[in-house]
Amino acid sequence: MTQTYNEKQERLRTDAPGAVHAIPKVDITAFCTSAAVADAIRAGVLDRRMARASVTVREGSVAEAAAFYRGTPSPNLVIVESSDHRERLMPALDALALECITGTKVIVIGHSNDVDLYRELLEAGVSDYLLAPLEPMAFVAAVSRCFRDSSEAKLGRIIAFVGAKGGAGSSTIAHNVAAAMVERSDADVLVADLDLQFGTLGLAFDVEAPRGMADVLEGAERVDEVLLKRIAIQHSERLHLLPAAAVFDRSFDLKDSEVDRLLDVARSASWNLVLDLPHLWTPWTKKMLLSADEIVITATPDLASMRNAKNIIDILKNARPNDPPPRLVLNKVGTPKLPEIETKDFTAAVGLEQSVTVPFDPQTFGKAANDGRMVTELARNSKGARAMCELAWRVGGQRDNRSGTRFGLRALLGRFKRWRRNDLLRRKTRDLVTSEAGVSAVEFALIAPVLAFALVAMADVGLALYERMTIDHVLRAGAQAAMSDPGEAKVLNVLQSTLSQSATPSGVALDMVKRYCACPEKADVSPDTAPPCSTSCAASAPPYIFYRMVASKTYQTMSMPNVLPNFRLSSSIQVQIR
């Protein structure tokens, strides 16, 4: 794709959606006096909307057209090019009108930008007046206006979803986008599952379909809007479903006329038709794809999807030169342990500048599929749901109705009336009650203070145990020194020296270093009540000599004093000299 093509497609994307409708089966003859106008008409004939029209381009003026139809019946539409002034043009058109049969329409292509001439031509019965140089789409739009039934408001749009390969998730994207279109833009949406054997529309919305898309295709020639509404399942006030009924006993090969009939009925209705196309390339699926107003291609970020997506986009570019490019959805982005093509590299390779990215989220999508609910309903704040909601208002041809900003009492009352009419208030209330969005964040906010306090308390206990082990180490050093009975002063010096070399010497108090004696028959006396060491024991036995040492420290906790107050660490050791 060149930059010129991208700029052209961006301009087409900003035009009003659905402004040009398909032209019916009619005969059209164009008489051109310049090669540029003839080439523009031939380019317009290649547009998909002109597929059923039979167009003949001849060289000649208005007078030559009148002479030609003196012996030949005129077609449904005659297009003439003229550079004559009003004085010569009007008589020539009168002569042409005398030779044409009743009902023939006429479009004039002129080189004079004259409003008075335009009004005079319309009053004379000319259907339209186009100014040269002529754009191909201006020609197509003029023909479309000529054959549009003014009594029939063709407001429907056709949005086709197709996967670049099997398993890309095109059906899931189509279902969620359709549901988001109903919720976000208040549009009437009909979802048609064209995968007649393996379609999942009924499972996705948790509905049973005794009749479905197979019944519509079997009677394609007699289908109309009333029949579609009778067969379709009404899932909500504005969402209707045509699921596949797993038809394995017969196949469908639609004719072009039957496909045209289905598409005409869809466009004549007031709803948006979402087509979930199967991963098959048959003549009728290709025709439906090329006839859609919007095309969404779903791909995964791998090489096979990139190749298939590029091939589909190239086919659409050649077959639909006057239509905006398709939308690209990159699904399952961020799959663990799976090498992926970067989004910017993928879009550059297929020739598109924009894409919608749906992240890999198996838990959310799996739960929605098993519960028969949409991701946009189950987890509306997830990245995947937001991406599909954005895609919904883009392909629906209208912006999110919740993004507009309107003020005033009239706007508020109008919005309240619309809520009452569409029963949105009740639905929103139900969604708020059943929504699980943000539950994890709320639960974490509730448990976070408890977790923080538990961590600080565990740190306090660990530091307290460490300081208690330091005190025990100091007392064991004193006990080793006391084994040689050096006296209280020497043992105290050893304790103080060992404490000064420890990691936490501050705050440790050596409460007691006491040497005392006890007779063998009363060896369990305390140091305060022990007899002097010169006391004679029974049977003239020598007294036992003991050393008792006590150390302590007040530990100040890091956590809140009201919850975990300061506490005292104390340790003692007693040694008997032999």
375 and 415 share a domain? no
Q: For residue range 325-345, what is the model confidence (pLDDT) as tens digits?
A: 899 999 999 999 888 999 899
330 and 220 share a domain? yes
pLDDT confidence of 47, banded at 50, 70, 90? confident
By percentage, how much of the chain surpasses pLDDT 70?
A: 83
488 Cβ contact partners less than 8 Å away, ≥ 6 residues apart: 513, 514, 515, 547
- Return the amino acid letter for 244: A
Enclosing H/E stretch for 29: strand 27-32
Q: Is the pLDDT of residue 408 over 60?
A: no
Q: Is the pLDDT of residue 109 over 50?
A: yes
* Residue 133 preceded by cis peptide, ω within 30: yes
Domain annotation covers residue 14: no
69 or 265, which is more confident:
69
237 and 203 share a domain? yes
DSSP annotation of 344 reads: H
Q: For residue range 270-327, what is the model confidence (pLDDT) as tens digits?
A: 678 899 998 888 888 888 888 888 899 999 999 999 999 999 999 998 888 888 889 9
DSSP annotation of 562 reads: T
Instruction: Give the per-residue pLDDT at 331.
Output: 93
Instruction: Give the per-residue pLDDT at 312.
Output: 92
**Is residue 395 a contact partner of residue 294, using CB atoms and an 8 Å limit?**
yes
Instruction: Give the per-residue pLDDT at 401.
Output: 45
Strands of the sheet with 356-359, listed across from one edge: 233-234, 239-242, 189-193, 272-276, 157-163, 294-299, 327-333, 356-359
Opening angle at CA 292, ends 352 and 323, nearest 5: 45
Helices (H), 188-302: 201-204, 213-218, 225-231, 256-268, 283-291
Distances (CA, A) of 237 to 157, 285, 317, 422, 536: 19, 29, 37, 8, 109
3 Cβ contact partners less than 8 Å away, ≥ 6 residues apart: none
Q: For residue range 191-246, what is the model confidence (pLDDT) as tens digits?
A: 888 887 788 888 888 888 767 677 777 766 677 777 777 778 888 888 888 888 76
198 and 139 share a domain? no
Final residue of a structural domain among 119, 146, 173? 146
Final residue of a structural domain among 123, 146, 169? 146
461 and 564 share a domain? yes
- The CA distance from 460 to 95, in Å, is 106
186 and 69 share a domain? no
Domain annotation covers residue 7: no
The stretch 564-571 carries a mean pLDDT of 81
Final residue of a structural domain among 98, 113, 146? 146
The stretch 484-493 carries a mean pLDDT of 88
Instruction: Name the pairing type of β-strands 27-32 and 233-234.
Output: unpaired
Domain annotation covers residue 526: yes
Instruction: Give the per-residue pLDDT at 32.
Output: 94
Domain annotation covers residue 456: yes
- The CA distance from 226 to 205, in Å, is 23
**Is residue 186 a contact partner of residue 401, using CB atoms and an 8 Å limit?**
yes
149 or 551, which is more confident:
551
By percentage, how much of the chain surpasses pLDDT 90?
A: 20
Domain annotation covers residue 3: no
Instruction: Give the per-residue pLDDT at 455.
Output: 84
CATH number of the domain residue 90 falls in: 3.40.50.2300
**Is residue 525 a contact partner of residue 518, using CB atoms and an 8 Å limit?**
yes
- The CA distance from 485 to 492, in Å, is 12
Count structural domains, the chain: 4
- Pick the closest to residue 113 from 94, 129, 89 (CA basis): 129
480 and 515 share a domain? yes
Instruction: Name the pairing type of β-strands 128-131 and 77-82.
Output: unpaired
The stretch 68-73 carries a mean pLDDT of 87
**Poorest-pLDDT segment among 49-63, 90-104, 374-388, 400-414:** 400-414
Instruction: Name the pairing type of β-strands 356-359 and 327-333.
Output: parallel
Give the sign of the dihedral formed by CA 363, CA 368, CA 369, CA 374: negative
Domain annotation covers residue 393: yes
The stretch 114-133 carries a mean pLDDT of 89
453 Cβ contact partners less than 8 Å away, ≥ 6 residues apart: 559, 560, 563
The stretch 468-472 carries a mean pLDDT of 88
Instruction: Give the per-residue pLDDT at 436.
Output: 64
The stretch 487-504 carries a mean pLDDT of 85
pLDDT confidence of 70, banded at 50, 70, 90? confident
Instruction: Name the pairing type of β-strands 544-555 and 509-518.
Output: antiparallel
DSSP strand E in 338-377: where? 356-359
52 and 94 share a domain? yes
Instruction: Give the per-residue pLDDT at 397.
Output: 63
φ/ψ of residue 67, rounded to 5: -65, -35
State both tokens at 528.
Answer: 């305060």
Instruction: Name the pairing type of β-strands 157-163 and 272-276.
Output: parallel
Instruction: Give the per-residue pLDDT at 428.
Output: 63
Q: Is the pLDDT of residue 449 over 90?
A: no
CATH number of the domain residue 306 falls in: 3.40.50.300
Distances (CA, A) of 558 to 272, 450, 490, 506, 564: 64, 15, 37, 17, 9
pLDDT confidence of 555, banded at 50, 70, 90? confident
pLDDT, mean over the chain: 81
**Is residue 24 a contact partner of residue 51, using CB atoms and an 8 Å limit?**
no
Domain, as residue range, for 426: 407-437
Distances (CA, A) of 379 to 183, 344, 365, 366, 390: 14, 27, 9, 12, 15
- The CA distance from 286 to 117, in Å, is 44
Ordered DSSP codes for 368-414? HHHHT--HHHHSTTSHHHHHHHHHHHHHTTS--TTT----SHHHHHH
Q: Is the pLDDT of residue 361 over 50?
A: yes
128 and 189 share a domain? no
- The CA distance from 319 to 141, in Å, is 18
Q: Is the pLDDT of residue 255 over 50?
A: yes
64 and 171 share a domain? no
- The CA distance from 235 to 237, in Å, is 7
433 and 466 share a domain? no
Residue in this structure with the two tokens 């020639």, named with its chain if needed? 221
Distances (CA, A) of 149 to 24, 26, 108, 145, 268: 11, 14, 21, 9, 10
- The CA distance from 201 to 218, in Å, is 19
411 and 273 share a domain? no
The stretch 383-402 carries a mean pLDDT of 75
Instruction: Give the per-residue pLDDT at 404.
Output: 41
Neighbouring C-beta atoms of residue 209, cutoff 10 Å:
22
Domain annotation covers residue 72: yes
11 or 97, which is more confident:
97
pLDDT confidence of 79, banded at 50, 70, 90? very high
Q: Is the pLDDT of residue 410 over 60?
A: no
State both tokens at 458.
Answer: 């565990």
pLDDT confidence of 29, banded at 50, 70, 90? very high
State both tokens at 92.
Answer: 């020539």
419 or 107, which is more confident:
107
Domain annotation covers residue 285: yes
Instruction: Give the per-residue pLDDT at 394.
Output: 82
